[in-house]
Structure 1
Amino acid sequence: MATSNQMTRLVGKLDGLPSGMKPSLQSFLLGNVVPFLGTAKLRFEHISQAQVVVSIKNRRRVQNHIKGVHAAAMALLAETATGFAVGMHLPDDKLPLIKTLKVDYLKRAQGDMKAVAALREDQIIAITTLEKGEVSVPVVITDASGESPIQCEMIWAWVPKKRS
């Protein structure tokens, strides 16, 4: 079920770019939508209505005291991937809001990290048809070893932009 909204139109404008330029330009433009993303230097590897893939490099600006990706940066990675997965389907007259951000840290992360988020068809239908609601957005976070050092539950709500 294809949705056209402000975000899909913005992403669509980048479709014709050479593949080597696309992630950098996407990351720059989408980082301006939510300024904190640019601060953390999150990179949008892939963004479509089917799936959102966001990565973060393990570099000084996002490290903790043991030189790994900071816990808050890991949570930001998960929140960003799930939020943009919702945003790719949300009608322009709705406002997305994070309702629950639960992160279980299972083991020490190794190197760079990646988040992959995608919605089920029933979730997409709810987002596109209900005036307000909420969904638990599945996200898988992996590190450079391919393992999942954290497990997340991200519940996103949406409400009308204008209050009645």
Structure 2
Amino acid sequence: MANKTLALYERMRRWPAGQWLFTRAICFKAPYFASIRPSITVLEPGRCEATLRHRRRVTNHLGTVHAIALCNLAELVGGMMTEASLPDGMRWIPKGMTVEYVKKAVGTMRAVATPAIPIVASDAGYELPTQVVVTDPAGDTVFRATISMWMSPKR
């Protein structure tokens, strides 16, 4: 069976404002992501990219993008990459996340998620480390995260 989420993205991205509509649909399904108003720009097996505009709503007292907004963006791209890469008969859930704040986050942030190991179907559960790197408009890394996704067979 084809991956339904990936098939929906592929179909919608060809429409006018399709990527915007797809992102809104994801934010409707998981409402907390809407708090940062992300934009999913790439979704394919093994990769998800999204952006977050620096605006007042996601700004901290230092005038930079808030740490939790960056964590929220990381969880979004990590989860969407995992969902788009999911083998038939498997499911996932985030189990934990470690983060590193590298430098002040100013401007539109771009997050890229990739798996640290191949995503495979399995008869037993396993941990999938997912790498997320967030860069600023100059391409400098401002934030890194490793999200532990628990992969397990559907019951």
> Counterpart in 2 of 1:71?
67
Matching residue's letter, 1:84: M
Matching residue's letter, 1:116: V
How far apart are 1:104 and its partner, in Å?
1.1
Deviant stretches of 4+, over 6 Å: none
By percentage of residues, which structure has more strand? 2
In structure 2, distance between residues paired with 1:7 and 1:132: 22
> Counterpart in 2 of 1:7?
5
1:108 aligns with 2:104: yes
Q: Any unmatched runs of 5+ in structure 1?
A: none
In structure 2, distance between residues paired with 1:117 and 1:139: 4
In structure 2, distance between residues paired with 1:155 and 1:142: 21
For residues 25 and 64 of structure 1, do their structure 2 counterparts lie closer, same or farther at Cα, with a shift above 3 Å needed?
same
> Counterpart in 1 of 2:36?
40
How far apart are 1:48 and its partner, in Å?
1.7
Q: Any unmatched runs of 5+ in structure 2?
A: none
The normalised TM-score by structure 1 is: 0.82
In structure 2, distance between residues paired with 1:151 and 1:9: 29
Residues 65-104 of structure 1 mapped to structure 2, 5 A cutoff: 65-91=61-87, 93-104=89-100
1:142 aligns with 2:138: no
In structure 2, distance between residues paired with 1:143 and 1:10: 29
In structure 2, distance between residues paired with 1:87 and 1:22: 19
Identity of aligned residues (%): 26
How far apart are 1:92 and its partner, in Å?
6.2
* CA displacement 1:115-148 (0-9 Å, x = unmatched): 111236x522x2x344421111122210122111
Residues 128-139 of structure 1 mapped to structure 2, 5 A cutoff: 128-139=121-132
How far apart are 1:8 and its partner, in Å?
2.0
> Counterpart in 1 of 2:118?
123
In structure 2, distance between residues paired with 1:93 and 1:59: 40
